[in-house]
Amino acid sequence: MATRVGDILTRVPGRLTLDGTAKEAIETARNRIAFGGAVFALAFTVIVVRLFDVTVFQEPREAQPPRVAQTQRPEMERADIVDRNGALLATSLVQASLYANPRQVLDPAETAAKLAQTLPGINERDLAQRLAGERSFVWVRRNLTPRQQDAVIRLGLPGVHFQREERRVYPHGELTGHIVGFTDIDKNGLMGAEQAFDESLKSRNEPVQLSIDIRAQHVLREEVAAAMKEFGAIGGAAMLMDVETGEMHAMVSLPDFDPNVRAEASPENRFNRLTLGTYEPGSAFKTFTAAMTLDYGTGNIGTAYDATRPISISRFRIDDYKPQRRVMNMSEVFMHSSNIGSVRMAESVGRDRQREFLRRVGLLQAPQFELPEIGGPQFPAQWREINMMTISFGHGISVSPLALAASTSAIVNGGIYRAPTILRRTPGERVAGERVISQRTSEQMRRLMRLVVDKGTAKSANVPGYLVGGKTGTAEKIVNGAYKKDARISSFVGAFPMNSPKFLVYMMLDEPKGNKSTYGYATAGWVVAPSIQRIVQRIAALYGIEPVDETAPTVRDQVFVNVAVR
């Protein structure tokens, strides 16, 4: 034993020391102990962190809202909608939605009370009942504002959590409400373009581009709103359409609504008067009576028609609003908007061909259009002689303003009917269409429509240098199957410039009232035509359409009638 200890220990003055072998063994043991301790400490730390993560930061799988388990896409779930120039009409913003796991809520009544105080509109009693249930997931409030989210966070309520969601927003509000429409809370399109292109918006990343020009939209809305206010109308509408492509550059229906707060909009405000509403067009329909007479060759712009006395048929009497009591040529019949003369033209064509012509130009069926809010025409099932007569001047048949505009576009653009569209065409794209009248008929109709603005019932729509042409229409409204006295739809449909039409313009007022400036009249020539003048002036400047010299021989040859009128 003494020898063994001596091998290990070495005497040093004042102390004993270990030799090299012993020292190496002890160091090895110490390192192994330290390494083992570190491994155990790391494993313990991982377990603690994981437990803390599971219990504090994460919900049980069954408590997760439905979309958490789905694969998250880096892009938005619904594409944007933009106007023809790229201006944003609809987009999605990320917002927080509030939900709760009732199994983690400590006091349902207290939690419901605090949330109801923080988030107005929450039913405290209902929420308390839901928080006391056995479910592991209940929605509390969708799409919170950042301020609301911060207020809920400050409450520090157990079992209350946030979920990332998208909210659809509409930067221009009521300006494009009827066009763009809106989605439900789950981003399903319910109206307008949101519904029309729902699947496309869900499956693509690039925006859906509409034909609408937000600048033109603003012009039309401003003018319609001003006219409604001036003449006390209960509603109004206007549209601007490219006669060569069928693109809608602007569509306004008032009253309107803000799709951002659609719950506050009444059914009346959501009603689209341009696409869904149908009305008797009144004298605006005489455009088609004249066109069919010219196209069938039963008359020309100089043909005479006897308008010396009213027409009596059965118990009905047809007369003019301002009787001329003379024989008039077609140009004068159209310029003075003679009901009697229009009946005579229809008689020359016949009821069967009249019906066929109206079908051909798209007035006896709902127009093809992307928006889902579309109204179909109403017309007699039995097309009798009296129907032929009244329809010749726009009574006894109801069509939507959209249908009227699309058909009138074919009358002025050279005779080609092109379906209206809310989608932007590619510049230079050749748009297919169907010939419905001859080129010559279209040229003659442009002359007659220019005459109405130059010398007829729509002189207030004239804009020097821009050759506006069109037709006014005033018709009594039908309410509960009967005409309502002193309740009118006053409208104008036309185009400019008539030597080479670019845009069709339409406007209507629902139940306008005459005032001192109109001498009490509420007909279209008084209450709508002045607005058309301002619209044309503003749109021409917006699109850089240059005025022409109306006295130039080439211009006169293109747009002026070559028969005497008085």
DSSP 8-state assignment for residue 421: B
| Three-state DSSP state, 127 | helix
| Half-sphere exposure for 13 (CA within 13 Å, toward CB) | 0
Angstrom distances, CA of residue 50 to CA of 42, 62, 68, 69, 156:
12, 19, 20, 20, 23
Contact 74, 205 (CB under 8 A): no
Angstrom distances, CA of residue 14 to CA of 7, 18, 205:
19, 14, 86
Contact 233, 191 (CB under 8 A): no
Distance between CA atoms of 275 and 248, rounded to whole angstroms? 12
**Known catalytic membership, residue 283:** yes
Q: Which residues of 345-372 are buried (b: 16+ CB within 10 A; e: fewer)?
A: bbbbbebebbbebbebbbbbebbebbbb
DSSP 8-state assignment for residue 173: G
Looking at the chain, the number of H-run helices and the number of E-run strands are: 20, 20
Nearest to 90 by CA among 14, 179, 152, 203: 179
Omega before 497 cis (within 30°)?
A: yes
Distance between CA atoms of 420 and 310, rounded to whole angstroms? 38
Question: Annotated catalytic residue: which of 253, 283, 398, 531?
Answer: 283
User: Using N-to-C axis directions, what is the helix angle for 385-392 and 351-360, rounded to 10°?
Assistant: 50
Contact 506, 238 (CB under 8 A): yes
Residues with active-site annotation: 283
